[in-house]
Structure 1
Amino acid sequence: MNRRLQTTLIAFPDLINRIYVVNELSESFDRLAKKLVETIVKRGQEIVFEDERITDDLLRGEALRYFTRVLAAGLVSQVEANEPACPRFIKIISPWLNWGYTNSDGTYDFVNLHGDYEYRIYGKRGDARLFDVELWEGDIADLAKASAIGNLRDINGGKSEVTFEADGSFEIFLSRERRGKNCLLLPEGHAHLYLRQWYYDYETEQASEFYIERIGETFPRPSLTAQDHVNNFERLIKFIDSVWRPLDHGIAQHYVSAPDIVPFPSGLITEGNAFRNQRYARGRYNLEQGQAIIMELTPPKAEYWMFGLMSPFWEIYDYLGRQVSINGHQAEIDDDGLLRIVIAHEDPGVANWLDAGNHSKGLIAGRYNWSEDVPIPTLKTVSLIELDQYLPASTKRISCVERSEILARRLQSQRKRGVDW
């Protein structure tokens, strides 16, 4: 399998060279195309074949998929939707663009902006647990140098920084000068923005409806020029070449702590790149067949919290078909006030199960949002057949039929928030 993958990467430049002859590309596009292919091959080789954590073909296949997912995120954000003068929201993270510490409870809408313009986001709130608009200074094409500079957040039934009308409608202005009830101040030059919605009660919470427009935008939109394409592909090359460093820095934090705890370190990705008032878990697990890991903690006093299992490449596992995450609404708390979550490859028959799905090594994700405390979970590995000896009698049990019904309802509820596109 490895040789076939390497052969594909090696053959890729020759294919592009043949395309040059057929299409007789100009010198600038010839240079761009060659540089793009060189960058793809170089970074693909490093990620798929030079990562020492890849110890089997399953992980190698996931590494190749991870590489193509990030490549696709760069393509959509740099080439297909890089129009600050004509903005539109895109899905930069989804079940198919699964990268960058994805939250299985959420949706991520993204837009490129520029300080030369003013914008308005408008719509109706919906009732997802968390609604957040976060502005970043800098270009996502150079993520290591970008930083979050402001956000407006609303917790359904909790804390809020956003003013809504009685019917749930809202408008948020993005400008160099403050205007309106809700406003985020744009920096000079490039900027980008995420609109996050995170869900707690999947089956009842409804998604927001929202749009963005540039104030003063006129129609028809201008056609793209050849120089626009040059600029966009140069940004894509920069993205492919540079995005791995901040991601690798965050992933590496999962491997520096003791293996029997799930820490929530204060330093994230790079300074300034953290979601304000949120703490992120940096745990990992090693789990053989026939074993189970019991994660135990006092539930945090947070407006929102969750735990989930991820690949070594910061991708949440299959959250459309398997139970790989648990949040503060879904979790069952034992009678002694503690939360116990069982990580196992097969269903142990307890409600709080995280499905390792034959991944013997992986990462543990977690988020405490607007939390008053930061409880640190402990991890204990036991034999699966002896699991009941380590759990209280009050631990909630469920059958395989009940589990199947829960997962079917999860999928249908997630589809209401647009996970299929």
Structure 2
Amino acid sequence: MEREFMEPKIEQGLLSGELWEEYCDILKRAGHQLLRPETPRTAFDQAEGMRYLSRLIRGGLEMMVEAADPDLPVFIVPSHETLKIGGDNPDNLYMTARINGQHRYRLRGSRGTVPTLNFATKKGGFERAGSNLLGTGFLDGKDLQVMADGSFEIVIGPQQPASGNWLPTEAESHMLLVRQTFHDRRSEKPAVLSIERLDRVGEAPPLDPAQFSANLRSAALYVERVASLFCDWTRDFKTGHFNTLPLGDQAVFQAAGGDPNIVYYQGYWKLADDEAMIVDARVPECDFWNFQVNNYWQESLDYRYHRIHLNCKGAQYQPDGSVRIVVAHRDPGTPNWLTTAGHHEGTCLFRLIGAQGRLAELTTRVVKVDAVPQS
């Protein structure tokens, strides 16, 4: 049944087509990010940029329209092999569900064998002014109470239950974010998860035109603001982190949704055909580390077909316990070589998980490929 008392402006926007025109206009504005003066102006990089925007459109519609009802939450995968955002981790399985921080939810799961698993509630959102995604609650997998058969339940909401697992929310919480980090995807099993609202009553309602209007606009703003935010980051990395991997401002990374257990080192690389970047790393005791090569738009390169990242399990170490990583267009014949997969510049990222305040020592240098040390 059509809802009564719809605001005249919303109804007019639907009936006249203005809503759709506004959606398309915002997407058109998002395309301006590709033409900023500092972006690479090659057909290759611009094609990737357009593909990036098309991926964000797909992700925005999935999150903001199709899975936007906090009364009927479902898990979606917001970043994966063909949808990448802000230096996505190739070793991660990301899952999100829409929630309302004032309600209670139950998450059921089977733990699996993935080494790192954590749960976070968030407020803000990339579709909103400021593009912050701030934490409102966090539950580390190390603290998760799991039954003997591997099953578990988590209550998500503003009040702590008398017993069992609890993930806190605030009134403004709108997202549940789950990160699963693999050391070896071939041998480790992910957690299997489902979610339901505990205090919901009644059947699923039909489409609400007013809510749909708001959701479609949010989906467009998501594309524009994600593209703007990470182009800003890349601009800053290009000038301040050129062919280096400094620690950077962790508060900025956390405000954009970063995991509080992770320390991020962000860089920008650019290599001629005959050059290689060597990363020498002394890594402290930690739960996990990895390094990845990204394109200009901060998408991980295509790890389905190319070796573009390395982690603590797959790396070959030096006799002194350090690790040397080589980024080059062609194989220099050394361990830990990562390909540029046809790119000549982009961003890169080194992350530590669970280092308990200890930091990595990272040094970088650019040399001729033929001069890369063989040991």
- TM-score under structure 2 length normalisation: 0.90
What is the deviation of 1:255?
2.6
SS in 1 for 2:103: coil
| Contact 2:116-2:181 at 8 Å conserved across structures | yes
2:346 to 350, 362, 365: 362
What is the deviation of 1:91?
1.0
What is the deviation of 1:201?
2.2
| Contact 1:101-1:314 at 8 Å conserved across structures | yes
User: Deviations along 1:58-91, whole A, 9 cap, x unmatched?
Assistant: 1111111111111221111111110100000011
Q: Comparing 268-277 with 168-177, which one deviates more in the overlay?
A: 268-277
Aligned twin of 1:169: 151
2:134 to 143, 147, 162: 147
User: Deviations along 1:281-330, whole A, 9 cap, x unmatched?
Assistant: 11121211122222112123211110000011110000111100000011
Matched, 1:38 2:25: yes
Aligned twin of 1:343: 327
| Contact 2:283-2:359 at 8 Å conserved across structures | no
2:366 to 364, 381, 389: 381
Aligned twin of 1:320: 304
Aligned twin of 1:8: none
Distance 1:112 1:376, change over 3 A: same
| Contact 1:264-1:376 at 8 Å conserved across structures | no
Aligned twin of 2:76: 90
Distance 1:386 1:247, change over 3 A: closer
Matched, 1:205 2:188: yes
Matched, 1:223 2:210: no
What is the deviation of 1:108?
0.6
1:133 to 119, 125, 138: 119
Instruction: Provide the C-alpha distance between the structure 1 equivalents of 2:254 and 2:88, rounded to a whole number of angstroms.
Output: 19
User: Map of 1:39-188 to 2, 5 A cutoff?
Assistant: 39-44=26-31, 46-142=32-128, 144-154=131-141, 160-179=142-161, 180-188=163-171
Name the structure, 1 or 2, with higher relative contact order (CA <8 Å, separation 6+): 2
Distance 1:360 1:303, change over 3 A: same
Distance 1:133 1:166, change over 3 A: same
Aligned twin of 2:244: 261
Aligned residues: 360
Partner amino acid for 1:78? M
Distance 1:299 1:116, change over 3 A: closer
Partner amino acid for 1:203? R
Aligned twin of 1:332: 316
Instruction: Provide the C-alpha distance between the structure 1 equivalents of 2:340 and 2:298, rounded to a whole number of angstroms.
Output: 15
Is the helix fraction higher in 1 or 2?
1
Aligned twin of 1:12: none
Q: CA RMSD in A?
A: 2.1
Partner amino acid for 1:161? D
Instruction: Provide the C-alpha distance between the structure 1 equivalents of 2:326 and 2:255, rounded to a whole number of angstroms.
Output: 34
Partner amino acid for 1:118? R
What is the deviation of 1:118?
0.9
Aligned twin of 1:405: none
Matched, 1:214 2:197: yes
SS in 1 for 2:287: strand
Instruction: Provide the C-alpha distance between the structure 1 equivalents of 2:35 and 2:70, rounded to a whole number of angstroms.
Output: 37
What is the deviation of 1:26?
6.0
Partner amino acid for 2:229? P
Matched-pair identity in %: 23
Aligned twin of 1:296: 280
SS in 2 for 1:40: helix
Distance 1:258 1:252, change over 3 A: closer
Unaligned runs of 5+ in 2: 1-9
User: Deviations along 1:202-249, whole A, 9 cap, x unmatched?
Assistant: 322111111111113456422222223222113223323433343334
Q: Comparing 136-145 with 161-170, which one deviates more in the overlay?
A: 136-145
| Contact 1:90-1:109 at 8 Å conserved across structures | yes
What is the deviation of 1:350?
2.6
Partner amino acid for 1:279? V
SS in 2 for 1:302: coil
Distance 1:252 1:302, change over 3 A: farther
Unaligned runs of 5+ in 1: 1-24, 155-159, 393-421
Aligned twin of 2:267: 283
Instruction: Provide the C-alpha distance between the structure 2 equivalents of 1:363 and 1:272, rounded to a whole number of angstroms.
Output: 19
User: Deviations along 1:340-372, whole A, 9 cap, x unmatched?
Assistant: 111111122333011112211111111101114
Distance 1:117 1:253, change over 3 A: same
Instruction: Provide the C-alpha distance between the structure 2 equivalents of 1:100 and 1:262, rounded to a whole number of angstroms.
Output: 16
What is the deviation of 1:190?
4.7
